Amino acid sequence: MRLTKVRLPALIEAHEDSTGQAVRTAIADARYGSLSNLVECQKSQIRPHLKLLGDSHRGELRTFCTRSRSGRTIHRHRDQELLDRARKIANSKAAKEDLKRQQHLIERSFADASNCHGFKRARWRGLWKQSIQDLLIATIQNLRKLVRYLCQTKPQLACRCAERLRRLSRLLLNRLPALLPI
């Protein structure tokens, strides 16, 4: 499987615009671990807790990777100092713990969506209808988190919210198939 490189600065900018807060640490998988993203994070003074893309041959056996008789040629990136700092941060213990935690949270969320809400199967045909289904699943998951939080802080309000959510879910399940023809 080939991972495509994704431009991280645009996603960071969109996040900062929507939340109104500056990003201090970027946590992402190997899809975002390109050299350009590492350099951009360093220039923006963002700690890159990224899984590095293409770092599989950085061990002791790397010297045996060439077949050239004249040896190896090393090319340095123009921002090599920034890259070295970014790699050091990305390979730190804190970065690896963040990646592990993030992966656990995301995988758990997708597993819940698949097992409890039918995320693996499309109910209706058409991309826009599938997008509606995905957004409804995400909304339900967020509402469940809200009710769980309210149960811990304000139990009476949580009971009222839970009852209204049950009514709303029944209403949606009964009316939505009529609104979205197959």
pLDDT on residue 1:
41
Dist CA 86 CA 48 (whole Å): 6
| Average pLDDT over the chain, rounded to an integer | 78
47 contacts 22 by C-beta, under 8 angstroms: no
Top-confidence residue, 142 or 120? 142
Q: Does the pLDDT of residue 3 top 60, yes or no? A: no
Percent of the chain residues topping a pLDDT of 70? 79
**Per-residue pLDDT band at 63 (split at 50, 70, 90):** low
